[in-house]
């Protein structure tokens, strides 16, 4: 059974190599899809294993898939599939030399994220997270324009520095474990209650690690790379980064939290994450009010959602099932939105909101899914984000974070209003007089992934079994008994 | 005697009496005014003659006017007749299932107000609309005074049934001159002046279109349409004066049914209404019509009185 | 989307454990009425499930049906959906129990839909409006209004509205609530391609809806935190008057008040209701707004009864201000749908006034008056649903026939559209609270409860009540007076006199199905007004612990309030009027035979022979005196442009007068805040000015702060 | 014998680490900075070797070799890969003037002493006493990142930051597990390579490597 653990790592790499070998063939554009399918399938297999109470490990305990890891792996696979499938380029454009490299990097990226969630060692996970930066650096800069180069530079510098801070934190945590009898970086061992870790070291290490991973998960004030990178990367890459890379970093934060909570209690990280979450919401709200670029708009929306998730993490076990469901819902919807935004960008040729007008009349084939996904991302039911937000807010009050949650609601309202305004500007209304047009019903790309993503997020919250159980098990992994 | 039957008899008597009395009251008011102003006057029966004349004419209706021009006057008439049925004018024995609830009475009166306003609009002229608009504005602003004075009057009796209020006053006359009652009555009187388009809110004798309220709405009506409008308005005035007089001087009203009592009741209410009419007429001599946009001030004043009456009745009593 | 895996809630299924945490779920469920019922009564559950199923079917038909069949199919399915809701609501109102469990992946209290009597009442009201609207829309929708999107959104909207009152826990409440909001938002967008104003209306609507939603969410969260559960049964455990209860009360009041169009959260109303297609406005104003009222009742009657007196006073204050402000704006408006929209604010204000009065009076143990006020508020809610949906449908018929909703360009429609005119007229009477319509009964009962509320057995109840009650009466009176003017204006200008534009002159009566919906609506208005007794008695069961002492039915359909000794029998009033009318009518018939009327071009015409329709009074001029009287509140802006004849300055060629009354809450409260936000939004861009050094500094500062904090 | 020298050796190594860091802030010439970076890498390698010998762990000696080859030789070589002449001419015009920068360096060093003393309690061990140097290097590296305009100078800052972490790791816990050490080194190497490629592209696209020019993406 434990060989499944290797599929999401080896599979994508194999496909990447295959793609490079098939360079120039039309087949190589399917490398990303194949890689994400591999991840998704193994994720689902591991989920079923976790549900039956079996926790496979491999590589001398380096890889381990408990319920949380399996869940995250599934999310990676699902979002990857939606992004890559939805972003499938036409067969002709994939014959260029770049295409194979691009697909290979995507596969590498997926493998790195899979490793990050499967690793049972903080160190290995750190390396995997850093590897995502390396894999995506050229993806962000894929277009080779001045802007994409700028975005890539900022992304790599800010991302690496952030992750370096995380490494500093991990070093301190390791130092704490060196102080005990068993120097280790294993989650499993570190999150045991009787280790006697040094509280001061764990505080400092935890804080630094969280701060570092907050960079990758796009929490303010470490978020600065995110709008630039998301707006310049090719749409599927943006979708992947926004949909899962941020969440994988959040997963790291969750794991760190499960260590620190045991040693120093939840208060310290709770304060830190609440501040970070609120700041993220504030930043998103502030910069969405007069946003001009729809891909940046989506990027700030990711910051917002990560902020709310961070508040959920701060709240602790009561909100964790909601946060986990949130990760899934946000990932799929945001990937969908980025995929559609990529198509809009391609067809309209401008990323500017004010230049894209009356989309619903001119291009209903793009505008309708765009609007549905927008409704989902701002938290309308039946999409699962609604339940996650309600769950987090409700839980927030019950653990005494009413003030934080209240402030978050105010900011969410501003964000909602700004978001609605921008969306309406893009989609609603009629084209200015004199421009002839015929309604374009084409979706400009595969429709199925979009429909699948929307349908899945619309129904998943109502699937009490086995999703509910899985979420509870994943929460239990993090020390929550809820 | 059976309450229901006696109430039906009293109501019928009231209707017949007031249909007879209302034109007479108008005639008296106009004649008194004419006499005081030194004119000969048309005599107190002139309104009767007017009505007879109007009923015998072919009504002229405007092209494009709707059924409202026909139905509106009837509605006004019916609402005024209903007032005569429901108010305790001759006797205080109400119908069992429709006690003379003041809120109901006010609403019934409003049916007439609305009907008149719609008739004014239906003519399709500037003046009709103008009259209608002003009439409704005044009616809207009068409403609080009206209901609050009703409220104030209802407090001593513990009910808004006007028969019960009058009976309470009959039993304990000291209520009548209590400050609360006086305040409420003054407020109610102002409200009634406004509702019935008397001075100082409206000048019933005017023929200058720009200042008219009531008359402007009836400009397009003729023949029997006009007759119903006129009689309906007179009836309303008479009935409301009857109400005020019974609130101030409740004696003579029938509380236990008997033939003699009924006769006394009929005579006393006729006298009371006619006396009040004379007083009204004399009073109006000394009043000038206020500007339309000062009417709200007047109504605000009356509202304040009514409000004081209510709160005083809670805080004093 | 409505095809969520819902399952009938049977006792056995609870035991079998559909939920992740079976024990907790079953335990909580057992505490609720549904669980406690001895026999599983699944009729209600089946009704709810059928609603979901029909909703899903309607969505599918909206997606799949051919454009020519879409309105017909959608309309029929929506009507069926609403009829199911009506039946379910009626069942629940009469005391049937049963419910539906919505499975959920998150560990929460179970999501159960199981309407109680009050919920049943509101489901009934909402579905009743739904039937009217569905029938009407079957033939009224054309073009964009009949688009695929619109017909997908319609059932979603209806299902959402019909399920909110069924919720027995805060999460399913919020779920249905948001589905309702989503459906209505999409419907609002129907005409976006033809009018630019739709876009801004939709932004306002979404933002204000979200504001309401967040208030409610926060309110429920506060209560849930204080009580430890999200089901209404556990929320009831919160002590009223404790600070979480106070906070939650304020939040929930704001949230539900926003949906119920109360001041100052009403700003979306004058934008949204006019811009939405008329059948949607009817559904919003007739039904959706009632959900706000339901929320208010849920808080005040079910979750947090017996609150401190200031709760009642706060509700009365909000309600009173809304009533006055709403009707004032309505009375000066010349746009028919804006007028109706503001009038909704007024009516809801009165409903909340009644609700607040009832809370206040209950606090002073004036139970009879409190019950009467509450029943009055409910009656007003029901009657508002009837007359306001009819009015909006009537306005839709006018737009259908003329394409105009500006009263200043209408007129003379009475002769051209008799059925619409009659229905609109009856509904207007209802809105103006004239006997014998539904509005009258409700207002009468409200006034009765207020004047009897100041005293209890002859003793003054409290200073607060003795100030609040007269003020409330005054507010109701002024509101009623202005409503009278408003609806005389609306009806008189639109339907009477001569047409003020060519479009109005060419108007034709609307199709049969629309007439049917209008006639049904008018019939409801009359029926509610003629038979208040049985209805009030039924309604009293939903809110009063001792309904028979509060309200009784007397005579043929009369209502009596035994606790405060007031009786009203509208049928007797009709009989009496008929009796006194007989002589009048007889004399008319006699006179008409002898003296038939003549129709002339202009009998008098103000003395002029060339009086043209343009010279008629318009809606704007009709309201002019009122604008002057309430100058200080309305703050109208006037613009007079005089064009002189070229030859002489003393001769005037044309005068153009423009008067605009804007919403002071929008211009004085919302605009400044929004402008500030916009300015902030521009300034704050400097945070992300593109400099990597600045971005690194953010991280560096964060790192330094964290280092300093951990070493403290 | 070795035990007697041990504290001095540790002191020497960490001292030179701090010294090179401060000098890098001071000097504006790119070439000088690269040389100092190489020196720093060698000092780090020496430090690891010393600790390894003291603890008697041959593994650490191996790591020391790795560090020497990557940080002491490899990375500086990559950075200086461009023709020497061109590199020589590149002069930083930092965003922070040298006095302020050096002042900041002292402040950051003090801060890291405070932080480390609170977190670790310093203890009696020689390495513990030297630990603040690692943190100081991290912070100084960060300072370089913020204050330097050129792409390569930023890279140097990043590398110094990384050296700081490594220093801290070795001083506090004798280094992280060897596998992680490899991974970290590989990651750093790759990041530097990527940035190097980007810097190259930047030169072709922007005609220079001034990071300041990257201002097109903003709100």
Q: What are the tens digits of pLDDT across the range C631-649? A: 888 888 888 888 888 888 7
ipTM value? 0.93
Q: What is the CA radius of gyration of chain B?
A: 19
Does the CB of A63 have a partner CB in chain C at under 8 Å? Answer: no
Contact C558 B103 (CB under 8 A): no
Q: Is the pLDDT of residue C26 over 50?
A: no
DSSP string, A13-26: HHHHHHHHHTTTSG
Predicted local confidence at residue C31, as pLDDT: 39
Q: How many CB atoms lie within 10 A of CB C4?
A: 20
Confidence of residue D88 (pLDDT cuts 50, 70, 90): low
The alpha-carbon gap from B184 to the nearest alpha carbon of chain C, in Å, equals 13
The alpha-carbon gap from A131 to the nearest alpha carbon of chain D, in Å, equals 7
DSSP string, C49-93: HHHHHHHHHHHHHHHHS-HHHHHHHHHHHHHHHHHHHHHHHHHHH
Contact C699 A221 (CB under 8 A): yes
Same domain, C464 and C584: yes
- Pairs across A and C, CB distance < 8 A: 214
For chain D, the residues whose C-beta falls within 8 A of a C-beta of chain C are: 95, 111-112, 114-115, 117-119, 135, 139, 142-143, 145-147, 154, 211-212, 214-219
Which chain C residue is nearest to residue B215, measuring alpha carbons?
A: C606
Predicted local confidence at residue C3, as pLDDT: 35
The alpha-carbon gap from A223 to the nearest alpha carbon of chain C, in Å, equals 8
Same domain, C566 and C650: no
Cα A349 to Cα A371: distance, rounded to the nearest angstrom:
20
Does the CB of A397 have a partner CB in chain C at under 8 Å? Answer: yes
Can you give the residue ranges of every domain in chain B? Answer: 3-315
Of residues C689, C696, C710, nearest to D218 (C-beta): C689
Predicted local confidence at residue C362, as pLDDT: 87
* Contacts by C499-503, CB closer than 8 A, 24 or more apart: C499/C410, C499/C411, C499/C412, C499/C413, C499/C613, C500/C408, C500/C409, C500/C410, C500/C411, C500/C412, C500/C613, C500/C614, C500/C616, C500/C618, C501/C402, C501/C404, C501/C409, C501/C410, C501/C411, C503/C402, C503/C403, C503/C404, C503/C409
Asked if residues A239 and A298 have their Cβ atoms less than 8 Å apart, the reply is no
Q: Is the pLDDT of residue C461 over 60?
A: yes
Q: What is the mean pLDDT of chain C?
A: 86
Q: Is the pLDDT of residue C611 over 80?
A: no
Predicted local confidence at residue A190, as pLDDT: 85
Predicted local confidence at residue A90, as pLDDT: 56
C631 belongs to a structural domain:
yes
Asked if residues B262 and B10 have their Cβ atoms less than 8 Å apart, the reply is yes
Q: Over the stretch C411-434, which tens digit does the pLDDT of each residue have?
A: 889 889 999 999 999 999 999 998
Does the CB of C251 have a partner CB in chain A at under 8 Å? Answer: no
Q: Over the stretch C198-250, which tens digit does the pLDDT of each residue have?
A: 888 999 999 999 999 999 999 999 999 999 888 999 998 888 888 999 999 99
Cα A130 to Cα B243: distance, rounded to the nearest angstrom:
93
Number of domains in chain C: 4
Helices and strands, number each (H, E), in chain B? 11, 1
Beta-strand relationship, C100-102 and C111-113: antiparallel
Which letter does DSSP use for residue C264 in this model?
Answer: T
C292 belongs to a structural domain:
no
Cα D206 to Cα D214: distance, rounded to the nearest angstrom:
9
Which residues neighbour B208 within 8 Å (Cβ) at sequence distance 6 or greater? Answer: none
* Residues in D touching C708 (Cβ below 8 Å): 111, 115
3-state secondary structure of C202: helix
Most A CBs within 10 A among D184, D186, D192, hence the mutation to make, goes to: D184
Average pLDDT over residues C563-574: 86
Contact C680 A286 (CB under 8 A): yes
Of residues C474, C554, C598, nearest to B60 (C-beta): C598
Confidence of residue D82 (pLDDT cuts 50, 70, 90): low
Does the CB of C454 have a partner CB in chain B at under 8 Å? Answer: yes
* Residues in D touching A130 (Cβ below 8 Å): 187, 191
C532 belongs to a structural domain:
yes
3-state secondary structure of C435: coil
Cα A49 to Cα A72: distance, rounded to the nearest angstrom:
14
Q: Which residue has the higher pLDDT, D93 or C569?
A: C569
Asked if residues D152 and D203 have their Cβ atoms less than 8 Å apart, the reply is no
Which chain C residue is nearest to residue B296, measuring alpha carbons?
A: C629
Q: Is the pLDDT of residue C341 over 60?
A: yes
Same domain, C589 and C630: no
Contact C451 B160 (CB under 8 A): yes
Average pLDDT over residues C468-496: 92
Q: Which residue has the higher pLDDT, B290 or C540?
A: C540
Of residues A211, A222, A398, nearest to C224 (C-beta): A398
- Residue by residue, pLDDT tens for chain A (482 residues) are 788 899 999 999 999 999 888 877 778 888 899 999 999 999 999 999 999 988 898 888 889 999 999 999 999 999 999 999 998 865 555 556 678 888 899 999 999 999 999 998 888 899 999 999 999 999 998 888 888 899 999 999 999 999 999 999 998 898 888 877 778 888 888 887 777 888 888 999 999 999 999 999 999 899 999 999 999 999 899 999 999 999 999 999 999 999 998 888 889 999 999 999 999 999 999 999 999 999 999 999 999 999 999 999 999 898 999 999 999 999 999 999 999 999 999 888 899 999 888 888 889 899 999 999 999 999 998 899 999 999 999 999 989 899 999 999 999 999 999 999 999 999 988 887 767 778 888 888 899 999 999 999 999 999 888 899 999 999 998 874 43
Can you give the residue ranges of every domain in chain D? Answer: 2-212
Same domain, C207 and C320: no
Q: Do chains B and A touch (3 or more CB pairs under 8 A)?
A: no
CA torsion D123-D128-D134-D139 (nearest 10°) is 0
Predicted local confidence at residue C357, as pLDDT: 93
- Pairs across C and D, CB distance < 8 A: 51
Same domain, C533 and C676: no
C229 belongs to a structural domain:
no
Q: Over the stretch D97-149, which tens digit does the pLDDT of each residue have?
A: 888 889 999 999 999 989 888 887 766 677 777 888 999 999 999 999 998 88
* Phi, psi for B252 (deg, rounded to 5): 100, -15
Same domain, C644 and C668: no
Asked if residues C112 and C168 have their Cβ atoms less than 8 Å apart, the reply is yes
Beta-strand relationship, C552-554 and C459-460: unpaired
Domain assignment of residue C549, given as a range: 308-594
Predicted local confidence at residue C605, as pLDDT: 62
Of residues D114, D118, D142, nearest to C700 (C-beta): D142
Does the CB of C418 have a partner CB in chain B at under 8 Å? Answer: no
Q: Which helix (H) or strand (E) holds A451?
A: helix A448-460
- Residue by residue, pLDDT tens for chain B (317 residues) are 577 788 888 888 999 999 999 999 999 999 999 999 888 888 889 999 999 999 888 888 877 777 888 889 999 999 999 999 988 888 888 777 777 788 888 899 999 999 999 998 887 788 888 889 988 998 999 888 888 888 888 888 888 888 888 888 888 888 888 888 888 888 988 888 888 888 777 777 766 667 777 788 888 888 888 999 999 999 999 999 999 999 888 888 888 888 888 898 899 999 999 999 999 999 888 887 888 778 888 888 888 888 888 888 777 65
Nearest to C190 by CA among A360, A442, A378: A360
Confidence of residue D151 (pLDDT cuts 50, 70, 90): confident
Average pLDDT over residues C512-529: 93
CB-based burial label for A267 (10 Å; 0-12, 13-18, 19+) = exposed
Q: Is the pLDDT of residue C625 over 90?
A: no
Beta-bridge partner residues of C459: C456
Contact C688 D142 (CB under 8 A): no
* Residues in A touching D114 (Cβ below 8 Å): none
Cα C272 to Cα C291: distance, rounded to the nearest angstrom:
17
Confidence of residue C8 (pLDDT cuts 50, 70, 90): very low
Does the CB of C523 have a partner CB in chain B at under 8 Å? Answer: no
- Chain D adjacent subunits, 3+ CB pairs under 8 A: A, C
The alpha-carbon gap from C435 to the nearest alpha carbon of chain A, in Å, equals 44
Longest dimension (CA), chain D: 63
Beta-bridge partner residues of B91: B254
Same domain, C331 and C215: no
Confidence of residue C551 (pLDDT cuts 50, 70, 90): confident
Among C220, C235, C264, which residue terminates a domain?
C220
- Chain C adjacent subunits, 3+ CB pairs under 8 A: A, B, D
Confidence of residue C608 (pLDDT cuts 50, 70, 90): low
Q: Is the pLDDT of residue C595 over 50?
A: yes
What percent of chain D clears pLDDT 70, i.e. is strictly above it? Answer: 93
Measure CA C385 to chain center: 7
Cα C151 to Cα A132: distance, rounded to the nearest angstrom:
45
Beta-bridge partner residues of C640: C657
Same domain, C646 and C669: no
Q: Which of residues 669-688 of C touch A (CB under 8 A)?
A: 677-678, 680-682, 684-685, 687-688
């Amino acid at each position: 059974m434990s060989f499944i653990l290797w599929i999401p790592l080896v599979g994508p790499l194999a496909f990447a190599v295959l793609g490079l070998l098939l360079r120039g063939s039309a087949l190589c554009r399917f490398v990303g899809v194949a890689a994400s399918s591999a991840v998704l399938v193994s994720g689902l297999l591991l989920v079923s294993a976790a549900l039956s109470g079996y926790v496979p490990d491999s590589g001398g305990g380096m890889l381990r898939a408990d319920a949380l890891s399996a869940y995250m792996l599934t999310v990676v696979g699902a979002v990857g599939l939606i992004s890559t499938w939805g972003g499938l380029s036409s067969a002709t454009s994939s014959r260029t030399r770049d295409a194979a490299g691009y697909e290979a990097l995507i596969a590498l990226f997926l493998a790195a994220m899979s490793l990050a969630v499967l690793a049972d060692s903080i160190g290995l996970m750190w390396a995997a997270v850093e590897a995502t930066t390396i894999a995506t650096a050229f993806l962000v800069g894929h277009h080779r324009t001045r802007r994409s180069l700028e975005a890539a530079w900022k992304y790599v510098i800010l991302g690496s520095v952030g992750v370096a801070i995380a490494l500093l934190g991990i070093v301190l945590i390791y130092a704490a474990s060196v102080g005990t009898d068993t120097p280790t970086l294993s989650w499993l061992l570190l999150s045991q209650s009787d280790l006697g870790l040094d509280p001061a070291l764990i505080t400092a290490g935890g804080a630094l690690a969280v701060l570092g991973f907050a960079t990758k998960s796009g929490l303010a004030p470490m978020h600065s790379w995110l709008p630039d990178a998301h707006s310049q990367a090719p749409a599927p890459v943006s979708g992947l980064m926004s949909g899962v890379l941020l969440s994988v970093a959040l997963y790291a934060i969750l794991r760190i939290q499960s260590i620190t909570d045991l040693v120093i209690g939840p208060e310290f990280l709770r304060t830190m994450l609440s501040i970070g979450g609120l700041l993220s919401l504030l930043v998103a709200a502030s910069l969405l009010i007069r946003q001009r670029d729809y891909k940046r708009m989506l990027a700030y929306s990711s910051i917002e959602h990560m902020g709310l998730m961070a508040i959920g993490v701060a709240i602790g076990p009561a909100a964790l099932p909601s946060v986990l469901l949130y990760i899934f819902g946000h990932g799929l919807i945001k990937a969908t939105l980025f995929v559609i935004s990529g198509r809009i960008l391609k067809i309209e040729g401008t990323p500017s909101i004010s230049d894209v007008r009356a989309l619903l009349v001119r291009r209903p084939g793009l505008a309708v899914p765009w609007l549905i996904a927008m409704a989902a991302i701002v938290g309308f039911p039946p999409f699962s984000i609604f339940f996650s937000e309600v769950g987090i807010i409700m839980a927030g009050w019950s653990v005494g974070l009413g003030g934080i949650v209240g402030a978050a609601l105010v900011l969410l309202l501003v964000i909602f209003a700004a978001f609605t305004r921008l969306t309406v500007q893009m989609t609603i209304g009629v084209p200015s007089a004199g421009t002839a047009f015929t309604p374009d019903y084409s979706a400009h790309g595969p429709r199925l992934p979009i429909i699948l993503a929307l349908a899945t997020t619309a129904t998943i919250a109502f699937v009490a079994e086995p999703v509910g159980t899985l979420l509870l098990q994943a929460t239990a992994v993090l020390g929550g008994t809820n | 005697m059976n309450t229901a039957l006696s109430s039906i008899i009293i109501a019928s008597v009231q209707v017949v009496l007031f249909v007879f009395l209302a034109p007479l009251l108008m005639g008296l008011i106009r004649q008194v005014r004419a006499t005081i102003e030194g004119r000969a006057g048309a005599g107190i029966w002139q309104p009767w003659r007017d009505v007879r004349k109007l009923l015998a004419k072919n009504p002229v209706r405007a092209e494009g006017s709707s059924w409202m021009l026909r139905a509106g006057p009837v509605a006004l008439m019916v609402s005024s007749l209903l007032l005569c049925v429901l108010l305790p004018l001759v006797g205080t024995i109400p119908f069992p299932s429709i006690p003379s609830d003041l809120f109901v009475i006010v609403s019934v009166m409003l049916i007439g107000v609305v009907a008149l306003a719609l008739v004014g609009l239906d003519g399709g002229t500037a003046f009709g609309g103008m009259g209608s608009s002003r009439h409704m504005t005044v009616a809207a602003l009068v409403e609080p005074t009206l209901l609050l004075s009703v409220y104030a009057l209802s407090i001593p009796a513990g009910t808004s049934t006007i028969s019960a209020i009058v009976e309470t006053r009959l039993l304990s006359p000291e209520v009548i001159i209590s400050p609360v009652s006086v305040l409420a009555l003054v407020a109610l009187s102002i409200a009634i002046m406004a509702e019935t388009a008397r001075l100082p809110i409206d000048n019933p004798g005017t023929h200058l279109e720009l200042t008219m309220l009531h008359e402007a709405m009836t400009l397009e009506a003729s023949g029997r349409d006009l007759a119903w409008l006129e009689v309906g308005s007179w009836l309303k005035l008479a009935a409301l004066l009857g109400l005020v007089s019974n609130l101030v001087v409740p004696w003579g009203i029938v509380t236990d049914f008997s033939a003699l009592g009924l006769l006394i009741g009929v005579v006393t209410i006729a006298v009371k209404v006619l006396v009040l009419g004379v007083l009204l007429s004399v009073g109006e001599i000394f009043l000038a019509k206020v500007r339309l946009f000062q009417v709200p001030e007047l109504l605000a004043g009356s509202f304040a009185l009514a409000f004081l009456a209510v709160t005083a009745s809670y805080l004093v009593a | 989307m409505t095809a969520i895996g819902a399952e009938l809630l049977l006792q056995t299924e609870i035991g079998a454990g559909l939920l992740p945490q079976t024990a907790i779920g079953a335990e909580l469920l057992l505490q609720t009425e549904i669980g406690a019922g001895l026999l599983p009564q699944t009729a209600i559950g089946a009704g709810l499930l059928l609603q979901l199923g029909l909703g899903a079917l309607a969505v599918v038909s909206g997606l799949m049906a051919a454009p020519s069949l879409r309105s017909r199919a959608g309309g029929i399915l929506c009507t069926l959906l609403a009829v199911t809701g009506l039946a379910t609501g009626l069942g629940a109102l009469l005391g049937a129990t049963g419910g539906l469990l919505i499975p959920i992946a998150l560990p929460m209290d179970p999501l159960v839909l199981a309407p109680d009597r009050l919920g049943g009442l509101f489901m009934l009201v909402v579905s009743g409006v739904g039937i009217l609207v569905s029938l009407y829309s079957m033939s009224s929708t054309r073009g964009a209004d009949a688009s695929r999107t619109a017909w997908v959104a319609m059932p979603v909207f209806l299902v959402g509205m019909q399920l909110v009152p069924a919720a027995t826990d805060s999460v399913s409440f919020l779920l249905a609530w948001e589905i309702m909001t989503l459906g209505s938002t999409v419907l609002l967008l129907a005409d976006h391609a033809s009018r630019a104003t739709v876009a801004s209306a939709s932004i306002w609507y979404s933002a204000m809806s979200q504001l309401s939603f967040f208030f409610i969410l926060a309110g429920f969260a506060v209560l849930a935190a204080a009580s430890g559960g999200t089901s209404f049964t556990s929320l009831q455990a919160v002590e009223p008057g404790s600070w979480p209860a106070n906070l939650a009360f304020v939040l929930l009041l704001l949230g539900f008040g926003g949906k119920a169009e109360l001041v100052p959260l009403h700003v979306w109303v004058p934008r949204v209701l006019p811009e939405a297609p008329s059948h949607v406005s009817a559904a919003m104003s007739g039904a959706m707004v009632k959900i706000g009222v339901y929320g208010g009742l849920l808080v005040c009657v079910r979750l947090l009864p017996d609150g401190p007196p200031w709760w009642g006073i706060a509700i009365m204050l909000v309600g009173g201000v809304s009533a006055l402000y709403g009707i004032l704006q309505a009375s000066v408006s010349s746009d028919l749908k804006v007028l109706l929209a503001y009038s909704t604010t007024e009516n809801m204000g009165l409903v909340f006034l009644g609700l607040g009065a009832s809370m206040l009076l209950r606090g002073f143990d004036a139970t009879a008056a409190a019950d009467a006020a509450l029943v009055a508020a409910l009656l007003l809610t029901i009657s508002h649903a009837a007359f306001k949906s009819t009015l909006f449908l009537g306005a839709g018929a006018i737009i259908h026939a003329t394409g105009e909703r500006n009263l200043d360009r209408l007129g003379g429609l009475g002769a051209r559209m008799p059925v619409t005119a009659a229905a609109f007229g009856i509904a207007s009477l209802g809105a103006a609270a004239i006997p014998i319509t539904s509005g009258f009964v409700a207002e009468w009962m409200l006034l009765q409860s207020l004047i009897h509320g100041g005293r209890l057995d002859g003793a003054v109840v409290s200073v607060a009540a003795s100030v609040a009650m007269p003020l409330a009466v005054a507010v109701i009176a002024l509101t009623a007076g202005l409503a009278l003017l408003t609806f005389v204006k609306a009806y008189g200008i639109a339907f009477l006199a001569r047409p003020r534009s060519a479009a109005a002159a060419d108007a034709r009566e609307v199709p049969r199905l629309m007439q049917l919906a209008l006639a049904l609506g008018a019939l409801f208005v009359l029926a509610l007004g003629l038979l208040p007794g049985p209805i009030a008695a039924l309604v009293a069961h939903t809110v009063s612990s001792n309904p028979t002492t509060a309200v009784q039915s007397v005579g043929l359909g009369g209502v009596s309030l035994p606790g405060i000794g007031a009786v009203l029998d509208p049928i007797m009033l009709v009989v009496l009027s008929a009796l006194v009318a007989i002589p009048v009518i007889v004399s008319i018939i006699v006179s008409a035979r002898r003296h038939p009327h003549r129709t002339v071009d202009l009998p008098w015409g103000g003395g002029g022979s060339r009086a043209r329709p343009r010279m008629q009074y318009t809606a704007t001029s009709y309201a002019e005196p009122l604008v002057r009287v309430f100058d200080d509140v309305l703050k109208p802006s006037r613009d007079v442009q005089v064009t002189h004849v070229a030859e002489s300055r003393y001769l005037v060629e044309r005068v153009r007068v423009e008067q605009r009354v804007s919403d002071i809450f929008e211009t004085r409260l919302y605009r400044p805040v929004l402008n500030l936000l916009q300015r902030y939004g521009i300034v704050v861009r400097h945070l992300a000015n593109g400099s990597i050094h600045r971005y690194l500094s953010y991280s560096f500062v964060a790192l330094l702060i964290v280092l300093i904090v951990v070493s403290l | 014998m070795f035990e007697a020298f041990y504290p001095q050796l540790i002191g020497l190594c960490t001292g030179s680490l701090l010294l090179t860091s401060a000098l890098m802030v001071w000097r504006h010439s790119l070439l000088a900075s690269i040389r100092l970076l190489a020196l720093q890498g060698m000092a780090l390698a020496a430090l690891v070797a010393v600790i390894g010998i003291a603890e008697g762990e041959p593994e650490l000696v191996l790591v020391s070799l790795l560090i020497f080859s990557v940080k002491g030789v490899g990375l500086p070589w990559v950075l200086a890969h461009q023709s020497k002449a061109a590199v020589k001419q590149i002069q930083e015009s930092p965003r922070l003037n040298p006095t302020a920068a050096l002042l900041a360096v002292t402040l950051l060093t003090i801060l890291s002493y405070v932080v480390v003393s609170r977190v670790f309690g310093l203890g009696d061990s020689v390495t513990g006493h030297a630990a603040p140097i690692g943190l100081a290097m991290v912070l100084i590296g960060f300072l370089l990142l913020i204050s330097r305009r050129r792409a390569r100078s930023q890279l140097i800052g990043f590398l110094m930051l990384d050296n700081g972490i490594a220093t801290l790791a070795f001083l506090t816990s004798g280094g992280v597990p060897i596998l992680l050490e490899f991974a970290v080194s590989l990651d750093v190497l790759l990041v530097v390579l990527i940035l190097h490629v980007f810097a190259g592209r930047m030169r072709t696209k922007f005609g220079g490597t001034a990071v300041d020019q990257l201002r097109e993406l903003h709100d």
